[in-house]
Amino acid sequence: MNSQELINKYIDFFKQKGHTLIPNVSLIPEHDPSVLFTTAGMHPLVPFLLGQKHPGGKRLVSNQRCIRTTDIKEVGDAWHNTFFEMLGNWSLGDYFKEDTIKWAYEFLTSPQWLNINTEKLSVTVFAGDEDAPRDEQAAEIWQETGIPKERIYFLPKSENWWGPAGKIGPCGPDTEIFYDTGQKKCSSECKPGCSCGKNCEIWNLVFMQYDKTSTGEYKELKQKNIDTGMGVERTLAILEGYENSYQTELFKPIMDLIEEKLSGRSQDYREVSTSPEKAKKIIADHIKAATFILMDGITPSNLDQGYVLRRLIRRATLQAKLLEIEKKENVSQQVANIVIDIYKERYPNLLDKKEFILKELGKEEDRFELCLAKGLKVFGKIIDKNRKKISGQDAFHLYDTYGFPIELTQDLARDDIKIDREGFNKEFKEHQKLSRKGAAKKFKGGLADHTEATTKLHTATHLLHQALRQILGDHVEQKGSNINPERLRFDFTHQEKLSPEQLEQVEQIVNEQIQKALPVKMEEMTVEQAKEKGAIGLFEEKYGDKVKVYSINDFSCEICGGPHVKNIKELGEFKIKKEGSGSSGVRRIKAILI
Ligand code: SER
């Protein structure tokens, strides 16, 4: 079976059970400001899990791309990946435990579907604590369905509870389904839930019945939901009898490429502290994740998602260095090329963004090379200062300013110098907190503010976007925007600084349009129709079939959630205040209306 067949089977199965297929959306969450990335299929559904009506109904199914960096240290083992695809089915206040468990069992074991040997399966259920009772009910249903008592394990919250994805939100006890790979137990204690890889978790069924509030309380949700997640890479691997996800068609061509680069080479690299096997997997995993994050429009930076992207590319580049793959071989670009080839049918956007993805990877590798030399000097000074210990602050300084992942510092320090990892983690967490706050603020700014001044600036942003395309070319694409009642800020793709003449021309075009006193027309249509109409803007598929398209005569036509003015004469006069660089390859304009 290949990955597309597995995905199709899952979707067909749940369609037969009355589910509606929902789109595979961006890795950058739109509805959940508490996280930087879509880490599970449930993210795009948060408002609906909390009670909002979903246009697709109460039963939904999807295949969702995800990024999860909480397990980044595990990457390199058999089963952990930072990028993966997750199949999921949801009940929004409809069916609950019984149907969920029975259908999962049917899909896994029925000869018509995956035909997995039931004896290979075991499950874990929630053991209960002060927040919620022991899940005897789930265990009973499993037993009735076909999993014998001795293969049902009760585990604590750390293992059998899901969510909330951020600090607050929908969550609940879960039951996890494991496949026995046939490997030896790592110890006599080894059982499902042990991280050695013998039992591979393939599907998690969450009984989402609580909302964790900001005070730490677990409040019963009025609407009880089901949220399930099946890992595509893992399930494919076990169906094909592989030992890990790197042997599947979703990784194999990448691993072959890296192997090819190493063949016939001296074995010196085997002395590095990361094992070569692990290093290869890290390169494959991280560059795949980076390719998809780039596809979704993020560029490497020191903030938010851009920071994670940078870290992934640098960790991969570092591993390539440790394996002595030369910089000139452009390993990240070569890997990305293969990733694009593997996924191009499921994600045609990869082809549209190919040039951008490869360019950004190359640039980030170059930057890291520069930092590496400077950072090594600083590292030398730190060691001269104290030959026994590297403080958390110093380690973080190397990480933050010179782009040294902590593993690199660790490698350089070898065994005789201690690194204050705790101090490093503290600094790191502090940084993440700031970065999350930034993300939360951005989210609010976009959705909550419908004041008159802000509304005008939203419309002005459309005029600006189109004027930039006229002056600079059609490569100009929106990369972000932030609007408050005082000013608009617009980020867009363009390599060079704008000249004063160009800025003047842009301003002039916008003001000419305003003087034409044109009405702003809103129409709802499908994404396809919007594309046909030539609309620009962020073409992420939204829930439901319809998107809003705002047009200003034939000057501007853009997909957008609004709000906008009725007639552009309301805008007054448009003035650019500042032009500068955002992240690399992205320019930023701040402008006002007077
Ligand atoms: N949210 C759960 C998970 O990510 C099930 O989808 O495991």
The response to whether residue 164 sits with its C-beta less than 6 Å from ligand 1 reads no
Query: pLDDT per residue over 517-544, tens digit each?
Result: 999 999 988 877 888 888 887 665 444 5
The response to whether residue 90 sits with its C-beta less than 6 Å from ligand 1 reads no
Who's near 183: CB < 8 A, 6+ residues apart?
Answer: 196, 197, 198, 243
Phi, psi of 553 (to 5 degrees): 45, -140
Q: In the prediction, which pLDDT does 66 show?
A: 97
> Which atom, in ligand 1's list, is nearest to the CA of 205?
5
The response to whether residue 160 sits with its C-beta less than 6 Å from ligand 1 reads no
Domain spans of the chain, in order of start: 3-245, 257-442, 452-593
* 438 vs 2 pLDDT, higher one: 2
> Which atom, in ligand 1's list, is nearest to the CA of 165?
1
> Which residue is listed with tokens 């059970």?
17
pLDDT of 423 > 90? The answer is: yes
The response to whether residue 229 sits with its C-beta less than 6 Å from ligand 1 reads yes
C-alpha 479 to ligand 1 mean position (Å): 29
DSSP summary character for residue 77: B
Query: pLDDT per residue over 363-372, tens digit each?
Result: 998 888 777 7
* Residue from 204, 208, 209, 230 to probe ligand 1 pocket by mutation (most atoms less than 8 Å from CB): 204
Query: pLDDT per residue over 283-315, tens digit each?
Result: 999 999 999 999 999 998 877 788 889 889 988
The response to whether residue 228 sits with its C-beta less than 6 Å from ligand 1 reads yes
C-alpha 227 to ligand 1 mean position (Å): 6
% the chain with pLDDT above 70:
91
Name the residue with the closest Cα to ligand 1, atom 6. 229
DSSP 517-548: TPBEEEEEEEHHHHHHTT-BS--PPPSSSEEE
The response to whether residue 208 sits with its C-beta less than 6 Å from ligand 1 reads no
C-alpha 42 to ligand 1 mean position (Å): 7
Domain 3-245: homologous superfamily in CATH: Bira Bifunctional Protein; Domain 2 (3.30.930.10)
**Mean of the pLDDT values across residues 117-145?**
96
Query: pLDDT per residue over 236-270, tens digit each?
Result: 999 999 999 999 999 999 999 998 887 766 555 44
User: Which CATH code for domain 452-593?
Assistant: 3.30.980.10
Determine which of 169-183, 315-329, 521-535 has the lowest per-residue pLDDT on average.
315-329
pLDDT of 411 > 70? The answer is: no
pLDDT of 139 > 90? The answer is: yes
Name the residue with the closest Cα to ligand 1, atom 3. 229
pLDDT of 426 > 70? The answer is: yes
C-alpha 21 to ligand 1 mean position (Å): 17
For residue 40, give the nearest of 131, 134, 174, 157 by alpha carbon: 174
The response to whether residue 225 sits with its C-beta less than 6 Å from ligand 1 reads no
pLDDT of 319 > 70? The answer is: yes
% the chain with pLDDT above 90:
57
pLDDT of 448 > 50? The answer is: no
* 117 vs 308 pLDDT, higher one: 117
In angstroms, the CA 459 to CA 522 distance is 12
Q: In the prediction, which pLDDT does 208 show?
A: 94
Name the residue with the closest Cα to ligand 1, atom 4. 40
In angstroms, the CA 366 to CA 500 distance is 30
The response to whether residue 88 sits with its C-beta less than 6 Å from ligand 1 reads yes
The response to whether residue 172 sits with its C-beta less than 6 Å from ligand 1 reads no
Query: Per this entry, what is the length of the chain?
Result: 594
Say what the pTM is.
0.70
The response to whether residue 41 sits with its C-beta less than 6 Å from ligand 1 reads yes
